[in-house]
Amino acid sequence: MAYQDLQLDWLKCFVTVVDAGSLSNAAPEMHRSQSAVSMQLKKLESAVGRQLLVRGPRQHQLTPDGQVLLGYARRILDMHTEAQAAFHGEALTGRVRLGVPDDYAATYLTPVLKRFAPRHGTVEIELNCEQSTSLIPRVERGDLDLALISRDHARRGASLFYEPMVWVGSPQFDAWRRDPVPIAVYENTSLARRSAFKSLGLQGRRYKVVYNSSSLAGQIAAVESGLAIAALTRCSAPPHLEILGSEHGLGPLEPMEVSVYRSRASRGSKAVDSLYSLLIKTLRISEAP
C-alpha cells in the first residue's frame, strides 16, 4: 500500500497551530493567511487519513490521533533543524537569565532544560528561584530575560497551562480539625494566599495565619510539624503529605494559570528566542479549563 509523504511545511504548520492555539494566532507566525494555514492542515489530515484537530470553545484541540502525530512531528522537525545546523547553522552563544518559582522548577523546568542544554551547550543559563510576585517586576525591569510565573490579573506573559491547587496537611496531625484552622501562607501579594482566604471564606471556616513565608520549603516544614495546613500547587505537594478536601471541611481552590513572561529588553537575543520557543512548545497544552 502506497503512503503519501508528510511534507515538512505541513508538519511545521500543524505544530505551529498547536503551539499557538488557533489558526488565527498561527497565521502571523507562519507568514501566511489563515486560509493558507487551514489548507496546509487539510493536506496533512488527508495524507494521514485522520482528523488531527477540532475547534474548541477558545482554541483548537488535539484529537487522539493528533496527539500521536504531534510527538512524531516535533521529532522530525527537531532532526531537520539539527541537520541544517550541522551544515549551515550558527552555534548559539550568550546568557539567558531565567526565573522560576520553586514549586514549578523540578516538574516543569527540568524537562525543558534537558532538551535545551544538549543542543545549545555554549549558552549560559542563569537560574533565579523566587515567587512570581518577585519575578514579574524583575522581568519588567529587564533584570531577567524570561520567567515562568503564575499569571496575575494583568494577564502577563504567554499562557501555558493551569496548575491545580490543593490543601495539604500532615497525616500525623489533625491541624484541619482546629477552630480556627491554622494555615501557612505565602506573602501578602501571593495569588495562592488570596485563593486560600477566598476558599475558607466560602466554606465559612474560621482561620488563623500561624506561618507566613515566601519559601516553599518553609510552607512544607510548617505542615510537616503539624503547625498548620497549607495551599500548595499540586506539582509541589510532597507525596508524604495528605491531600485535604471536602471531607475535611475544606473547599476547592482556584487553579493557577501558568505563563512564560519575557522582557522587552531581551528582544533580538537568539538564545532567549530559542529557550522562549522551547518553553512554549514543551509546556503549552492544547486545552485549558
pLDDT of residue 197 exceeding 50, the answer is yes
Q: DSSP string spanning 145-193?
A: SEEEEE--TT--SEEEEEE-EEEEE-TT--GGGSSSEEEEE--TT-HHH
Q: Are 244 and 262 in contact (CB under 8 A)?
A: no
Q: What is the pLDDT of residue 287?
A: 38
Q: What is the pLDDT of residue 288?
A: 38
Three-class secondary structure of residue 286 per DSSP: coil
Nearest 5°: the CA angle 182, 185, 187 is 145
By DSSP bridging, strand 146-150 and strand 94-100 are parallel
Three-class secondary structure of residue 238 per DSSP: coil
Burial class (CB in 10 A: 0-12, 13-18, 19+), 234: middle
52-63 per-position pLDDT tens digit: 998 776 678 889
Percent of the chain residues topping a pLDDT of 90: 59
Q: What is the pLDDT of residue 90?
A: 63
Q: What is the mean pLDDT of residues 99-120?
A: 86
- The mean pLDDT value of the chain amounts to 88
Per the structure block, which three cell numbers stand in for 85?
545546523
Per mean pLDDT, which of 22-26, 80-84, 154-158, 173-177 is the most reliable?
A: 173-177
Q: What is the pLDDT of residue 289?
A: 36
- Using alpha carbons only, how large is the chain's radius of gyration in Å? 22
Q: Are 275 and 146 in contact (CB under 8 A)?
A: yes
263-276 per-position pLDDT tens digit: 999 988 989 999 99
28-46 per-position pLDDT tens digit: 777 889 899 999 999 999 9
pLDDT of residue 111 exceeding 60, the answer is yes
Neighbours of 214 (CB within 10 A): 17
pLDDT of residue 201 exceeding 80, the answer is yes
91-100 per-position pLDDT tens digit: 778 899 999 9
Mind listing the domains of the chain with CATH numbers?
A: 8-88 (1.10.10.10), 94-156+258-283 (3.40.190.10), 165-254 (3.40.190.10)
Query: Tell me, what amino acid is at 44?
Result: L
141-176 per-position pLDDT tens digit: 999 999 999 987 777 888 899 999 999 999 999 999
Burial class (CB in 10 A: 0-12, 13-18, 19+), 27: buried
Query: Tell me, what amino acid is at 151?
Result: R
122-147 per-position pLDDT tens digit: 889 999 999 998 999 999 999 999 99
Which residues, in sequence order, are bridge partners of residue 252?
none
